[in-house]
Structure 1
Amino acid sequence: MSNHNFSLPLNFKLRLRILTTTVFLILIMQNLHAQPAPYPRGPGFGVTTLSGTQNGSNGVGVWMDGTVQIGLSDTIISDVVGIGVTRTQISRDDLLEVRNLHTELCLGAKKNLNPNAILTEPGTQFTVRCVEDGKEIAYTGRTEQLTDELSQRLHSFSARMRQNFDRDSRALVKLDARVEGIEKKDNGLLVSVTFINSGQFPLKIKTPDQWDPSGGWSTQLTVGGSDIEKNHGWSVDLVGVPIINKAEYPEEFVTIAAPGRASFKFLVVPTQKINRGIYLMNLMVGTSITADEAIARRGKVLFHSDYKNPYRITFDRDYPSTPEEWKAFEARKAKQVSALPSGAMVADSGYYRMVSVFGPRSQFVTKLEAGKAAPKLDVNTWDKWEWEADLARATICKPADACTRDGTWVLRRMEYVPKLTDETIASYTRRVRMGEAFPTLNVAETSKLYWEWLGA
């Protein structure tokens, strides 16, 4: 699990394909079973910025009566909260610009599209409906095929209109999400997130425990943030994590009424240490939604919670701190850190154990640091290195020291060069609890003795 600065628009790798092309903006309301208002018809144009087939797209559709429809499915790098489709009316000055753009688009689309234009991917698409000989005709193309001047004006207008997404506009489709709560519980955290439908049609999503963790950036349900001094941060991904309140959502899909909400609770163990302090937490979402009455197909969405209203939580001590928290923390992280082949570069610092595919594991762990190459393995005995413990707690202690971690420890004696392996005194093998004092021994050369951790 990686650190993210959730106080800023994130690169934290999710997207709604409500709009695959600008045609969607013009036709979306034609798919409605119950129209909330007279559907704008007649000449108009739309501009859609595509983000690739697996991601979302954002677009604007405008008609000559001044109606503007704005569809956003990827708002992760903007200040816009949530995603959806909204409709508003533009000013008279903007309407004059719309009419000029429409006239030039009709002329350009009919006669002057550059067939040799270099197209960028995924690019920006336009659609324009024109009236010719009393009939409506639609043209579709890429903005790179227009003149530079017209393309720039179209991009500028579209960007300015998108700023009206949640300003004096009426939501047709609108989905938001937020962190509802974070509580310390059972050596981990009980995290609650809520999806909010403030549009005019029910929305359907899979319950997060059904989301595919292999979806990468486009499938994500991540709670994260930083302390108020912005010195430390932590995050946890909830995709595929079992839902504690599953009885409330027994089916694979949940329908969120309009208006309505759905809340999911997860018991998680972070794989990052959390420093004591006050944290401001936000939510990132990347998934697919379906609005059966408003959208004929499933769409990808990528958005964040309201950065201006984060969830606030206070950690009055570091996490993990107790023996139980450390055990849960290391057990979960051990499952997430990839095993290292011989000589591979270490990505996660920690104590690693040599492992054979046939089952045997090395008796002791070895300290490996991120950015350095893992030691070469004896290929006749070992196959890989596996992460087992965090470097924050030592695996070697002197007699009478306080134990640094729960588990089984064995007494050892340092040997002189050229012997390469210290002596293990197996008769002195003990289970020791974190914080307990190690036994002292009335034997010669006590300065050469030490206790070494075998495992939890």
Structure 2
Amino acid sequence: MADSENSVVLRPGAFTLSWSADLQYGSRDLTFDGERTFYFAKGDTVNEDSQKGVGVFALNLQNSDLQELNVVAQNLCDKDIQSGGPETVDPPSTFSVMCMGEDGKAVRRSGSIRLIPERFKSRIFDAPLRLAERAWTEGSKIIKLDFETVAVEHKDGHYIVAVKFINSGNRWIQFKTPDQWGGSTTSGRLGVGATGAIHPNGDVVKVKGSWAFGLSGKGLINRSEFKGGLVFLKPGGSEVLKFEVDPDYKALKGSYEFSGIVFMRIEYEGYGWGLASNVDFKPIKTRITIDRDYPSTPQEREQWEKTHRENMSQWPVKPGATFAEDGLYRAVRTSGTARGLLLRPFKAGDVATTDDVRMYTEVASGTEFNGPVQWVWEGSAPTPVKQWSFDIIEGTEHVCKAGAICPRSGRWLARVHSGGFSAAAPYRYDLAGIVTLCRGQSMPARTDGADWEWLGA
């Protein structure tokens, strides 16, 4: 339906097919005004490959189009149009149509799309869906909202991610700044990241677990530019929002194709087209070059490990399962809550033992458990600076000499080599000698020849 600047008279033959929004996904409306204009409103393109952004489009119709749409209206007015089923409740999908009554006057009828019998569906949906595609590509833009990543830069220990929201329609759009969003599909979510690596020959190769930034609820460093916490986009206008944020995953420097996702609520000028306030869509893809790896410093590694540890806690490696990635892992009893004190290194592809594991408990009281365990990721395992090198990347050390500079924050346990050659117990641990240190402090000196083993953050 057109808004107040267009005629709102309900003419015979006018109809609307409407798929309502739910708590996560936006709406879709196809409307014929009964004369010569077809409107397409779409607020849900997050799962689309060919369509980016959301909006409302108007298409001027040809005579052949009018004939097809008149047939659609006649079928919607059929007395048996609601004899199908079954009906479902959430979200509703409805139609409304202006039919000619027996007295020769126009009468509005409405119903459920899900109750339309199968024999009517091709006659009702084929033409409107085809015209919707044309409206998206050829029609005038009444409302059109997009976004894109424009820059990723490193500054003062953080990353500055710049995202541009674009209004290419002829009505204003506004929304709350993303630092006020909750981070979910219902409370508002914004994220951008690399979907492909750009090779020197120009080819784009898909990547997973590379550069990614969750931006909703994060610091907006140019917040003062948006009065009242609202981003206002005038027709044909755009605004760049700059976020201070840390990456979600490890990533290598290089050139990447960036995409993303947004679930948000908007307000816009006008009404009556069926575009709901909650919308979801992907951005216009852009090419971004980043000149440093992440993490590149011990401080960045600690930040990444904190985030990764929280994420990996949901995916313990069960007995007999395969480790998905390298790391230092903590044993956790499969029954009960007992956790192991010491960390063990595993490599991707290793298989977790199905045998019982005997280990000091994390409380370091001298008690032990002996039984089946699963393993949770705790931190990076010692990582060579390059293949075959004996030098370890700073911040990945598992042991440290007494009196040296602490290489990573957390708890450390003094250990003394047993002097024997038994692989089962090569070290004797001083359970009273656990210390908590920050990276950069000095490791305590020892007079018994002990060194220090990291127990986790």
Aligned pairs for 1:7-22 (under 5 A) are none
CA–CA separation in structure 1 for the residues paired with 2:32 and 2:382: 59
Residue from 33, 48, 73 that aligns with 2:18:
48
The 5 Å alignment of 1:54-453 reads 54-78=24-48, 79-106=50-77, 108=78, 111-115=79-83, 117-120=85-88, 122=91, 124-132=93-101, 133-213=103-183, 215-216=184-185, 219-226=188-195, 227-228=197-198, 229-232=205-208, 233-291=210-268, 293-294=270-271, 299-306=277-284, 310-334=285-309, 338=313, 351=328, 365=343, 388-391=378-381, 393=383, 394-397=396-399, 405-407=407-409, 412-415=415-418, 422-424=428-430, 451-453=452-454
TM-score, normalised by the number of residues in structure 2: 0.72
Residues in 1 aligned to 2:427 and 2:135: alpha-carbon distance in whole angstroms: 68
- State the distance in 1 between where 2:429 and 2:342 align: 13
CA shift digits 1:363-398 (9 cap, x unpaired): 75555889979989969889x998653347444248
State whether residues 193 and 212 of structure 2, in contact with CA within 8 Å, keep that contact through their aligned partners in structure 1.
yes
Q: Deviations over 1:198-222 (max 9, x none)?
A: 2233222111011112x33773211
Change (3 A) 1:342 1:388: closer
The residue number in structure 2 matching 1:7 is none
- Once residues 96 and 231 of structure 1 are traced to their aligned partners in structure 2, the CA distance between those partners, rounded to angstroms, is 48
Instruction: Specify the alignment match of 1:20 in structure 2.
Output: none
Identity among equivalent pairs (%): 27
Q: Contact 1:68–1:90 (CA<8 Å) still a contact in 2?
A: yes
- State the Cα distance separating 1:271 from its structure 2 match: 2.5
Q: Distance in 2 between matches of 1:298 and 1:100?
A: 28
More displaced, 216-225 or 94-103?
A: 216-225
Q: Count residues in correspondence.
A: 405
Alignment TM-score, normalising by the size of structure 1 = 0.72
Deviates more, 1:151-160 or 1:173-182: 151-160
**Distance in 2 (alpha carbons) for counterparts of 1:341 and 1:381:** 22
Q: 1:84 Cα deviation (Å)?
A: 1.3
User: 1:62 deviation in Å?
Assistant: 0.9
For residues 87-109 of structure 1, the C-alpha deviation after alignment (integer angstroms, 9 at most, x for no partner) is 11122222111112212221x2x
3-state SS in 1 of match to 2:301: helix
The one-character-per-residue Cα deviations of 1:253-272 (angstroms, maximum 9, x if unpaired) are 33322332232111111130
CA distance in 2, matches of 1:56, 1:426: 59
Does the aligned pair in 2 maintain the 1:177–1:283 contact within 8 Å?
Answer: no
